[in-house]
Amino acid sequence: MVRLKLFFNQENEVDISGLNNKSTVQDFFDGVDEFFTENPLPCDECKQNCCKGRFKINMDSISAKKISKGKVERIIPKLFVNAGENKLEVFMVAGNKKCRHLNGLSRCLIYQERPASCRTYICIPKSICYKILDAAIVAEMHHAMRAEFLDVVIKDRTTPPGAIEPAKALRQEIISTSVAYGCNNYNEILLKDCVRSDFAHSNVSQEEARLFHEIINREEV
């Protein structure tokens, strides 16, 4: 396992160290968890509890598989879907609703299986490198979720026949540009493969991708 540490840099932003070209998405999540253990946020006293629906939360394919125990079709009706021409977005939280997984004590009931958006969210300043990684991972996991969603739509007997072929075409397009589709665990996905600017879903600019790869290649292993 590659160790990935998070710490505060000189600008008092959350930053990353130990990142290299073998680091996985799981390494990053472990680094975030360890950082929170060492630098706990005041979530218990926070009046703006961020799980109470101030944000849209992208759903993630691995989280969806884990929450549903491999039967993604079970959770699809509980998600929020925004489908339009050339657009398909799948959210766990729609932006103005409390997350259904938050209990009365403001605890996450699916903490071990929560999506990437929840795992990487930090409500304190973050370095550029952190922001790039955060954006890239959330975008990749959401991209794979779009294909998982279409798998369910295609198999669903209630889907109108005329919608099947467009769904298959979009699914194929997504799969051909996805590094996360088909993965069951975050340690199957390399961070370096997530940070790319060559696809519309990537959420990272060319300059950000160049900067990120320059940083991880300094620590070849």
Q: Quick one: 37 or 48, whose CB is closer to ligand SF4?
A: 48
For ligand SF4, the closer of residues 41 and 128 by Cβ is 41
Q: Which is nearer to ligand SF4, 23 or 58 (CB)?
A: 58
Neighbours of 9 (CB within 10 A): 15
DSSP bridge pairs for 126: 14
Nearest distance, CB of residue 131 and ligand SF4, angstroms: 16
1 versus 41: smaller Cβ distance to ligand SF4: 41
Window 17-56: contact mask with ligand SF4 (x via CB under 6 A) = ------------------------xxx--x-xxxx-----
Q: Which residue among 81, 83, 94, 110 contacts ligand SF4 (CB under 6 A)?
A: 110
Choice between 93 and 153, CB closer to ligand SF4: 93
- 43 vs 163, beta carbon nearer ligand SF4: 43
Q: Is 138 in the site for ligand SF4 (CB under 6 A)?
A: no
User: Is residue 94 involved in binding ligand SF4 (CB under 6 A)?
Assistant: no
Burial class (CB in 10 A: 0-12, 13-18, 19+), 55: middle
Closest CA to 86 of 210, 173, 8, 189: 173
Alpha-carbon separation of residue 126 from 57, 86, 122, 219 (angstroms): 19, 32, 8, 21
Q: Indicate the Cα dihedral angle 134, 139, 141, 142, nearest 10°.
A: 130
Span of 110-118, 148-156, 161-169, 185-193 interacting with ligand SF4 by CB under 6 A: 110-118
Q: Is 96 in the site for ligand SF4 (CB under 6 A)?
A: no
Smallest distance, ligand SF4 to C-beta of residue 171, A: 26
Give the binding range for ligand SF4 (CB under 6 A) out of 70-78, 97-105, 140-148, 196-204.
Answer: 97-105
**Contact call for residue 123 and ligand SF4 (CB under 6 A):** yes
Residues 31 and 25: their CA atoms lie apart, in Å, by 10
Report CA dihedral (93, 94, 98, 99) to the nearest 10 degrees.
-10
Show the DSSP H helices in 83-127 as ranges. Answer: 116-120
Taking the CA atoms of residue 21, residue 125, residue 115 and residue 110 in that order, the dihedral angle to the nearest 10 degrees is 130
Q: Is 15 helix (H, G, I), strand (E, B) or coil?
A: strand
Instruction: Examine residue 77 and tell whether it contacts ligand SF4 (CB under 6 A).
Output: no
Q: Which residues bind ligand SF4 (CB under 6 A)?
A: 41-43, 46, 48-51, 57, 93, 99, 101-102, 108, 110, 114, 118, 123
